[in-house]
Structure 1
Amino acid sequence: MIEYSEFVRLSRSSDSDERGHAAHLAALAYLDHDGPADEHAALYAALIGFLDDPSVKVRAALAYGLLHSVQAPRPIIMALLRDSAVISRAILQYSPVLLDADLIGLIGAGDPFTLTAIAQREKLSSRIASALISQGDSALTQRLLRREDVLLDPMLLLDLSRSLGGDATMRGALLSRKDLPAPARLILVQQVTESLRQARIVRGALAPDRLARLLRDGTDTALSAIGETEAVQARGEFVEVLVGSDQLNTRILLHALTTGHVMFFAACLGALSAISRSKVFTLLENGSRASLIALFSRAGLGPEIGRLLVRLVLHARAADLADDVAARHYVVTALTEELIAEYDGDIPHALEEAFAYLSEQNIALARKAARGVMSTFAGIAQGPMSLPQVEELAQLPLPAA
């Protein structure tokens, strides 16, 4: 508690520290006031009087007292906002009294210290975050992307993925966001693929053909995994983007099914055939061969591809393709052998791309399925390895040198 006379003495003191103490006390008293109205009015007048104090320390003490309160008088906060830089930046960063309309005009000025202070506010609306990012400051944009509490417009994230996806640091910040739309995530995955393709250490470690196959397979897996997540959450925009941009082809459909991304596969067929995804999924689970052929035909797939997918669906019903690599290898092997037997080794032109994909997957899946098999067997097996006897060859006499 402090007497009125003592408060007046501190307010009129020649010592700036005492005046600053009075300003801080006045701010706290105003915010916590529950007494007479005339006393509250007197405190408000005192706050206004401290705005004209020649010492920045006094005005800073006033700002510090009001800084975090939503009850702080707006006229005084706006006056402090136009004060010296150290006070103005504190108000910008902490005061909850400021509205988006107050901040937008300041963002347009483009002062880097002002932008940084605004970006550090506890709460930022999507509108303010977008305005800050539009200033084109890379460090500021990355800071905002790292903030999970700041909601960003999906179209803005998509535009940023297109324009900044070539930068690895920015790409990481974008990929870390849970609200990143699926088309943007696919763009970034494609950027990662291209970066790996151009990296000297990668190009030097793998033959060009094998590198191309690995990167293509990785991109296909990422695409179908993204599509599966979107399909599980009943969001159809991703598949619509794929269909609209002609990125959906037979290879993607095969890859989605062989990797166990059945929901994505069903969503693709639903988009292509204009049939609801639930009905497509029911057909995939229980439909007859004839109904499946009709489904694939309605989706615009040729008869050869349709029959191939029917076989793959029937095999997939009895196997866990999502988690079991060995089952996936078995299905792809069986499908490949069936094609060879049916066409007597002369694969028709319409199936060449699909057959090439299955052959690639057969090799890749065989390698994955074989990893660790021998070491596991050696840990449980008893006795020596069964090997054929090798006959010793007679030593050949060599002529004297």
Structure 2
Amino acid sequence: MSVHTLRARLTREDIARLTHSDEEERALAARKVCARYAGPGLTDEERELGAEIVRVLAQDAAELVRRALSVTLQRSPYLPEDVARQLMGDIDSIALPIIAGSPVLSDEDLIAIVRSGGPRRQTAVAARETLSEPLTAEIAEHGVSEAVSVLAANSGAAFNTAAYASVFNRFAHSPHILERFIERPSLPLEVTEKLVARISDAALQRLVARHALPPQLAVELAEGARERATVDLVDQAGLSSDPRRFVQQLQLNARLTPSLMLRALLRGHITFFEHAVAELAGVEHARAWVLIHDAGPLGLDAVFKKAGLPERILPAVRAALSAWHSLEVGPDGTRDLIRFRQRLMERVFTQFQGAPVAELDYCLDRLDADIAAETAARLTG
């Protein structure tokens, strides 16, 4: 196929360069041909002819020419798939732009690179603008540390639970890799909870700043008060989209303690409490819900014993549940939530004077902080 098929869009000098024996001249012409081919305005026939020219350029013996082709068409949807696969198997200087940017490569193509390619090629895959869950999982499971580090920070990489778990399992002792998760725009609650136990103080500050975690969390973590930090995470999550998974993660890390559950309940996190009891009792959430909210005393007693929870906190739990059923959260956002928690604490104090002091003190401290923050926001708003 002659290059003259695009003569209306190329100058005589371009055509001369494309057939010139000097590789730099051919590379300049190749870049212009490819730019024309990738641009708008071509008819279907012209696009087909252009694809044939691209195939010819991909066979050029000069690395400089093939690189011009690779760089110019790396993000073009018009790059023929067979040429994309040919270029991705070329030397790194030619392959990497295609691996990192070409939209015509399939997940199967990219997974093959992850499994057989070197660190630079794996990292190029991890840096792509978007990555599907299967591709993300493949890099998380088999990628070298450099690739996984790039993957963790890539907001376009679709992480699922298994992919997060692979990274934490493989790089549990590599905080510099785990800390890259902080750069993501959002994180599941259970991932955040795992991160705070493994990252440096400096990284923790970035986590607090970027993901709007309560500053109190940083202070309490520095003091080793992990349980209080976890309650703050429950506060931040509110009604998590998957409280069961968060509870399971706490249990796996031996942090689903009775005091944590009581503190969360006294903060009004009834859904978290239900799932926590269900997890410890080994029953479905629906069954735990029925027993916990039994109007009589028997249901709560039964599920408490099955969960192995200490009887000493049962009266406080019963008082908190009774108060929770008698109150409602209003429609006024944060203000109503704070008022709800304040009334909840008042009812617990009124109905039961023997709640563990440490848990009550904690919740009162957090309630004071809530009120102060809400007041400040109202004054500045």
| TM-score class, shorter | 0.5 to 0.7
> Is residue 123–residue 150 contact of structure 1 (8 Å, CA) maintained in 2?
yes
**CA distance 1:323–1:279, shift in 2 (3 Å):** farther
Name the structure 1 match of 2:133: 126
Name the structure 2 match of 1:287: 295
Name the structure 2 match of 1:50: 57
Larger Rg: 1
**CA distance 1:287–1:274, shift in 2 (3 Å):** farther
**CA distance 1:191–1:294, shift in 2 (3 Å):** same
CA distance in structure 1 between the partners assigned to 2:57 and 2:281 by the alignment:
73
**CA distance 1:193–1:286, shift in 2 (3 Å):** farther
> Is residue 284–residue 292 contact of structure 1 (8 Å, CA) maintained in 2?
yes
Aligned partner letter, 2:26: R
Query: In the alignment, does 2:271 pair up with 1:256?
Result: no
Aligned partner letter, 1:90: P
Name the structure 1 match of 2:114: 107
- Structure 1 unaligned blocks of 5 or more: 197-209, 340-354, 374-401
Residue 215 (structure 1) shift: 0.4
Query: Cα deviations across residues 327-378 of structure 1 (Å, max 9, x unaligned)?
Result: 56645655663x3xxxxxxxxxxxxxxx5xx2113444555667899xxxxx
Counterpart pick for 1:188 among 192, 195, 220: 195
CA distance in structure 1 between the partners assigned to 2:149 and 2:159 by the alignment:
13
Counterpart pick for 2:338 among 308, 323, 330: 323
**CA distance 1:17–1:95, shift in 2 (3 Å):** same
> Is residue 259–residue 322 contact of structure 1 (8 Å, CA) maintained in 2?
no
**Counterparts of 1:194-273 in structure 2 under 5 Å?**
215-222=225-232, 224-225=234-235, 229-230=239-240, 233=241, 235-240=243-248, 248-271=256-279
Query: In the alignment, does 2:161 pair up with 1:154?
Result: yes
**CA distance 1:336–1:108, shift in 2 (3 Å):** same
Counterpart pick for 1:2 among 2, 7, 19: 7
- Structure 2 unaligned blocks of 5 or more: 1-5, 204-219, 330-335, 372-381
**Counterparts of 1:330-345 in structure 2 under 5 Å?**
330=346, 333-334=349-350, 337=353, 339=354
- The CA RMSD measured in Å over matched residues stands at 4.7
CA distance in structure 1 between the partners assigned to 2:43 and 2:67 by the alignment:
25
Name the structure 1 match of 2:100: 93
Residue 129 (structure 1) shift: 3.0
**CA distance 1:272–1:364, shift in 2 (3 Å):** closer
Residue 155 (structure 1) shift: 1.8
Name the structure 1 match of 2:319: 311
Name the structure 1 match of 2:214: none
**Counterparts of 1:3-82 in structure 2 under 5 Å?**
6=12, 9-27=16-34, 33-34=42-43, 40=48, 43-82=50-89
Query: Cα deviations across residues 304-348 of structure 1 (Å, max 9, x unaligned)?
Result: 6444422232244456796357556645655663x3xxxxxxxxx
Helix, strand or coil: the match of 1:323? helix
Name the structure 2 match of 1:359: 357
Aligned partner letter, 1:309: V
Name the structure 2 match of 1:397: none
Aligned partner letter, 1:122: E
Name the structure 2 match of 1:380: none
**CA distance 1:332–1:74, shift in 2 (3 Å):** same
Helix, strand or coil: the match of 2:27? helix
Equivalenced residues, count: 339
Residue 154 (structure 1) shift: 1.0
> Is residue 122–residue 143 contact of structure 2 (8 Å, CA) maintained in 1?
no
Give the TM-score normalised by structure 2. Answer: 0.66
Residue 87 (structure 1) shift: 2.2
Helix, strand or coil: the match of 1:229? coil
CA distance in structure 2 between the partners assigned to 1:252 and 1:238 by the alignment:
13
**CA distance 1:214–1:328, shift in 2 (3 Å):** farther
